[in-house]
Structure 1
Amino acid sequence: MRTVGVEEELLLVDPETGDPKALSAAALARAEHEDAGQEVFEKELYDQMLEFATRPQSGMADLHEEIVRCRKEAARHAESIGCTVAALATSPLPVSPAIGMNDRYQWMAEQYGIATREQLVCGCHVHVSVDSDEEGVAVVDRIRPWLPVLSALSANSPFWQGRDSGYRSYRSRVWGRWPSAGPTELFGSVAGYRQRVDDMVATGVILDKAMVYFDARLSERYPTVEIRVSDVCLHADTAVLVATLVRGLVETAARQWRAGVEPAGHSVSMLRLAAWRAARSGIDGELVHPATMRPAPAEEVVQALLRHVEDALADSGDLEWARESCARLLRDGNGARIQRALLERTDSLRGVVAECVRHTQA
């Protein structure tokens, strides 16, 4: 069975005011002191963020346990220095991002200007093991149309700089400012993939291969495909659902490749439109159907995704749980819907942050 690992970026916030706090260096120092050798937490571009990476897991129950544990550890380290963590993909409150001082981050600040200074967003990246780079590129080519559905399910960023953005996932719109971010055309082979990456680095617009921010890419560090379209999810359950669906997509794509099924030839321009619609609507309106590239109700598109990965999920024992989890998410709402409901109830973005801190560790 393919292993799955999750990276989550959490927002460091003041427990009283909800304002983002630039204390990641202190939190990381505390984590390094207390958890020496575990290498769970990592430095990110902005000092108001704390990232963790789970260990690879085969069972989704184990992955859930790992995410919950890492979130609680992140909260414990944060609380020891006077702040806490919230699984929010954008800060509901106004913030001036503090950029880390290492050479790489300062290069980015100089190169990209205001785009870097406004880019404080928190994502969820899912790694799924693949047997080879050949299989990995085949997967990347075949999962492209389905990635906006994951963005819609995970949407958790309706607010931006103290205002309602009008989007369910505004994080994805901000993230798209990076010059290498977004959907990709078909690569066709490992050679085609590597050549594209080399050509992009050769332009000088990006610093190195690590700055190729494709929606789905081969990991430079692990034998995995890395899917990067999701907001950090308010609830651990939603993160596990996204990871379950990602593994189903990867396994389904690998089976199609081995069976000689060609990938869908949707253009990047169409995939960008589908991604925009997912960011705007989330699960509360229409999405672009991955098969037809025409509008359809979100519930219909989610059901199409479940049918697409049905065999893979059945074989891993995840099908019924995934069906129930999707139904519950569509009924009860994802992070974006919950945040807006919290604002309506509390009439305060500070109240939204406070409630989301509690949701993060639930």
Structure 2
Amino acid sequence: MSLMPTTTDRTAGLARGALTLGVEEEFLLLDARRPAPAPVVDDVLERVSPALRASVRHAYLRTQIGVAGPPAGDLDALWRSMSLLREGVADAAEAAGARLTAIGACPLTGPDAPVADLPRCHRTAERFGPLAPGHGLNGTLVRVGVDDPELAVQVLNHVRPWLPVLHAVTANSPFYQGIDTGYASWRSIMWERWPSVGPTPLLESYAHYRHLLDDLIASGVVLDESMLHWHARLAPDGSAVELRIGDVCPSLADTALVAALVRALVGTAITDVEAGLPAPAINQQLLSAAHWRAAHDGLEGLAVDLVNQRPRPAWHLLRRLFDLVRPQLERHGDLEIATVLMSRLRSHGSGAARQRASFARHGSLDGVLAALTEATRG
């Protein structure tokens, strides 16, 4: 049974001119017969149905695969398209002798996976070396349509204080190399090795954004605009704000909640910008500390309250975020489903908490990965 209300019920509350919403997700490919990564992305891609092929792509390593849903005007449409992609790629993976698994980082030991056989991936490996050891770091990207670049840059400034909270929500990689790392999102710690990863700086204007990007490309720190991995950035074609702040979510319900909150946060930021409200001047070092805390504690621990610079239970800050963006959730017709999904998240815990609970039940990572594979297909 779907958690989503019917389209008829939802579109009655959907505002004209609603912000469009898109999601990209990356997944781990595991061998279907044993707990081991499977470098079979090319085989999987060959088996994806023609109807979905344009939305499925290589990631960086051959043990990963990515999907990108089309922009949607409402959460129901996004849910349907992402469900079709998850199910379709899971079917293709099974036909190739693999399992599609939504996990931030592979928890198994073994030799590093080879990069995907694409010129860009080989160029990246030659330039940056072994910055992505293992079998891939799998994240979630949420894209919200904002086609005015000056407005979009101001949105980036306004959303900065809330991204660590969303970072905690997505934590889904506590295990690595066969052990519990003590972090809720070990992927985040590994991801920070890349020189272009980190909190978005406070930006003066779109010209400032472009100037920084051009300088980074000239320095060799990034190959091109698509390698700018700030936690929030502009889409390379200038049509949207993109937030890439955490692990791939274990279930589509988690992804939908994050997407709804991100769109509502962007909508709230637009309202504040248009009202002439200044963006909070959050210290960059403190913002980095808040993201580290989110990666370490996840949703079940403490988070840094960037208003008063003190630790607070992460759930308290998530509830504060929900209350802040409630008008935008209502405007987009997402309030009912977001409320249901928040309750579900509260009951089930974050992906990291679910992995640890599964490990406690099964006593092995095999059981954890089996449960995640089932949740991925959903």
Unaligned runs of 5+ in 1: none
Instruction: Give yes or no for the alignment of 1:215 onto 2:231.
Output: yes
Indicate if the aligned counterparts of 1:15 and 1:354 stay in contact, CA closer than 8 A.
no
Q: What is the CA-CA distance between 1:208 and the residue it aligns to?
A: 1.4
The corresponding residue for 2:190 is: 174
Per the normalisation by structure 2, the TM-score is: 0.92
RMSD: 1.5
C-alpha distance after superposition, 1:262-297 (max 9, x if no partner): 101112111110001111111111111232232111
Aligned partner of 2:167 in structure 1 is 151
Q: CA 1:119–1:186 in structure 2 vs 1: closer, same or farther (change >3 Å)?
A: farther
SS at 2:293's partner residue?
A: helix
Q: For 1:24, give the aligned amino acid.
A: V
**Paired residue type of 1:187:** L
Aligned to 2:31: 14
Amino acid aligned to 2:93? A
Aligned with 2:198: secondary structure? coil
Aligned-partner Cα distance in 1 for 2:94–2:52 = 21
Query: Taking every aligned residue pair, what percent have the same amino acid on both sides?
Result: 38
Q: Determine if contact 2:260/2:338 at 8 Å carries over to the other structure.
A: yes
Equivalent residue in structure 2 for 1:63, among 78, 93, 97: 78
| Structure 1 position 46 matched with structure 2 position 61 | yes
User: Quick check: 1:27 aligned with 2:67?
Assistant: no
Cα distance in 2 for partners of 1:127, 1:357 equals 25
For 2:370, the equivalent position in structure 1 comes to 354
Q: Which moved more, 1:336-345 or 1:314-323?
A: 314-323
Residue in structure 1 matching 2:295, options 265, 268, 279 = 279
Q: What secondary structure is seen at the aligned counterpart in 2 of 1:195? A: helix
Alignment coverage as a number of residue pairs: 360
Is contact 1:216–1:228 with CA below 8 Å preserved after alignment?
yes
TM-score, structure 1 length as denominator? 0.96
1:108/1:116 contact within 8 Å kept = no
2:214 to 174, 195, 198: 198
Letter in 1 for 2:28: L
Task: Choose which of 328, 338, 344 in structure 1 pairs with 2:360.
Answer: 344
Q: Give the distance between the partners of 2:169 and 2:59, measured in 1 at CA.
A: 25
The verdict on how the C-alpha distance between 1:82 and 1:222 changes in structure 2, with shifts beyond 3 A counting, is farther
> What SS does structure 1 have at the residue aligned with 2:373?
helix
Q: State the alpha-carbon separation in 2 of the partners of residues 23 and 46 from structure 1.
A: 10
Whether the 8 Å contact between 2:230 and 2:244 is mirrored in structure 1 is yes
Mapping of residues 164-313 of structure 1, within 5 Å: 164-221=180-237, 223-313=239-329
Aligned to 2:149: 133
Contact 1:119/1:175 (<8 A) preserved: no
Q: Distance between the aligned counterparts of 2:359 and 2:52, measured in 1?
A: 41
The CA deviation at 1:221 is 3.5
Structure 2: give runs of 5+ residues left out of the alignment: 1-17
What secondary structure, in the 3-state scheme, does the structure 1 residue paired with 2:230 have? coil
Alpha-carbon distance in structure 2 between the residues aligned to 1:44 and 1:30 = 17
TM-fit CA distance, 1:356: 1.1
> Bigger CA drift: 74-83 or 321-330?
321-330
What is the CA-CA distance between 1:212 and the residue it aligns to? 0.9
Counterpart of 2:276 in 1: which secondary structure?
A: coil
**Greater displacement, 325-334 / 351-360:** 325-334
- Of 117, 131, 140, 2:133 maps to 117
